[in-house]
């Protein structure tokens, strides 16, 4: 089995940066180089102030601080890192296509293909190439075809090693992974490559948690895992709508069914809807694959998960508008949270973006606060929707830095990210600053009904009215 002592990762984003940082930290005899063509991002990874890393994850700055400059490096010298490495991880963005065949569902693989062509052009020695990005089934075959037809004598083995990280707990997920999945060819060379990558993870994980499969099973497992998790979120959210029409309490229902050992309690909290870079993208990819193989019933089943999620976000905004007497023009509404979940600065597909967009369409005056998301990112998210001009977005929405001052004379507050800090706010003081009647919409189940009623709120949240 080949002993790996130099690893290169192409892509310094939410997957590549944390994953390689942990590998370097746990494998001090392996030199790990993370490369990216985005010089600003690499500069952020190399900043002396570890609080200014481009990604916020609990525990990340400590891991980076221990290893950076020793055996962990961040660089824009892509070709040099590729040439020197024995194992190359591809961890670039795979967004949903916005054009052509598969538009709105299929994964856009142009960045993956560019990586493969770059590797083929630069490599002068045999390489193990590892898919780390979330990719559709049979992408490995396409990568191998590009590499094998490069005209060189270099041999490439392609592995699929999907990530199962939850943002906000990514470092813990890496350090104490439930499982690591490694897919590859069932040939002597493929097996040797799988064993080489397994040996890297065995530096800190029990061997029994490292599962080897064929490459197709590995690629599909990632999509299916995210689809199942998202399905649970949409399922409980669909029941929250029913609860609002009855005397049922969604929190009590979630607790009751969560005690069933066959179901379990995770991913059963009613909310504004799921966000993030993976759930929606992976389900849409699964829908596209099912349709492309002539399985419309399978495609329709999984597409309903996305439809329910969109409905929940829309329903939450509509509930706010109706509660505020069906007119919010000129009314000051405070949004607490912009990241799609707590303990991350990632805003991709965050429910807050779409709730804010709906409220701005009604000409509400929004004030937003998130402890880890800056104003530049918030405005960029709204501008990307192209619903209004950038000038209108900046006129109607203000980004605040003092969450207590922002509630002065507010008509309503909506909690859209479950940051722990929001639980500790002095809600009595907040209530005193707001216009009466004051409304709080708790989309992320931060505050209990009794707590709100004790201080006199007209209190609404999904699942209760």
Q: Supply the residues annotated as catalytic.
A: 163, 222, 278
CA distance 48 to 10: 22
Angstrom distances, CA of residue 23 to CA of 4, 20, 63: 12, 5, 10
CA-based torsion, 397, 400, 404, 408: positive or negative: negative
d(CA 194, CA 212): 7
Place of tokens 């949004």: 335
Q: How long, in residues, is the chain?
A: 465
Q: Are 350 and 381 in contact (CB under 8 A)?
A: yes
Q: Is residue 20 within 8 Å of residue 72, measured between CB atoms?
A: yes
Spatial contact of 327 and 293, defined as CB atoms under 8 Å apart = no
How does 172-190 read in b/e, with b if 16+ C-beta sit within 10 Å? Answer: ebbeebeebbbbbbeeeeb
| Residue whose pair of structure tokens reads 């040797």 in the numeric block | 192
Give the Cα separation of 14 and 26 in Å (integer).
Answer: 19
Interior angle at CA 187, CA 129 and CA 226, nearest 5: 55
Residue position matching structure tokens 């689809």: 227
Cis amide bond preceding 390, omega within 30: no
Distances (CA, A) of 218 to 34, 231, 375: 24, 20, 39
């Amino acid at each position: 089995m080949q002993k790996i002592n130099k690893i290169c990762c192409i892509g310094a984003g939410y997957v590549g940066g944390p994953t390689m940082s942990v590998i370097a930290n746990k494998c001090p005899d392996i030199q790990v180089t993370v490369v990216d063509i985005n010089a600003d991002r690499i500069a952020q990874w190399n900043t002396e102030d570890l609080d200014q890393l481009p990604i916020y994850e609990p525990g990340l700055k400590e891991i980076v601080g221990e290893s950076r400059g020793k055996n962990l490096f961040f660089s824009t010298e892509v070709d040099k890192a590729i040439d020197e490495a024995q194992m190359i991880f591809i961890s670039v963005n795979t967004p949903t296509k916005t054009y052509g065949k598969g538009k709105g569902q299929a994964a856009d693989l142009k960045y993956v293909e560019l990586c493969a062509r770059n590797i083929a052009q630069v490599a002068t020695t045999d390489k193990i190439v590892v898919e780390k990005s979330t990719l559709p089934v049979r992408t490995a075959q396409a990568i191998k075809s590009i590499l094998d037809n490069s005209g060189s004598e270099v041999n490439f083995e392609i592995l699929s090693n999907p990530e199962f990280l939850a943002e906000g707990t990514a470092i813990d997920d890496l350090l104490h992974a439930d499982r690591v999945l490694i897919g590859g060819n069932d040939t002597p060379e493929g097996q040797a490559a799988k064993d080489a990558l397994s040996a890297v993870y065995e530096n800190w994980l029990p061997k029994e948690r490292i599962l080897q499969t064929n490459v197709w099973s590995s690629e599909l497992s990632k999509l299916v895992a995210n689809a199942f998790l998202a399905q649970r979120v949409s399922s409980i959210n669909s029941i929250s709508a029913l609860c609002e029409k009855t005397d049922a309490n969604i929190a009590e229902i979630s607790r009751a069914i969560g005690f069933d050992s066959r179901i379990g309690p995770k991913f059963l909290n009613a909310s504004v809807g799921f966000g993030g870079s993976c759930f929606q993208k992976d389900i849409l990819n699964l829908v596209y694959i099912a349709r492309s193989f002539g399985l419309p019933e399978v495609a329709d089943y999984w597409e309903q998960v996305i439809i329910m999620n969109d409905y929940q976000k829309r329903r939450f905004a509509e509930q706010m508008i109706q509660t505020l007497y069906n007119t919010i023009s000129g009314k000051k509404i405070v949004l607490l949270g912009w990241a799609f979940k707590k303990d991350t600065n990632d805003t991709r597909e965050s429910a807050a973006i779409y709730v804010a967009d709906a409220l701005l369409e009604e000409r509400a005056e929004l004030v937003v606060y998130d402890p880890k998301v800056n104003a530049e990112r918030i405005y960029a998210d709204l501008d990307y929707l192209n619903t209004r001009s950038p000038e209108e977005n900046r006129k109607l929405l203000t980004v605040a830095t003092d969450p207590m001052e922002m509630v002065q004379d507010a008509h309503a507050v909506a909690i859209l990210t479950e940051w722990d800090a929001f639980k500790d706010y002095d809600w009595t003081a907040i209530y005193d600053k707001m216009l009466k009647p004051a409304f709080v919409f708790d989309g992320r189940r931060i505050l209990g009904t009794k707590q709100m009623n004790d201080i006199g709120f007209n209190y609404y949240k999904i699942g209760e009215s």
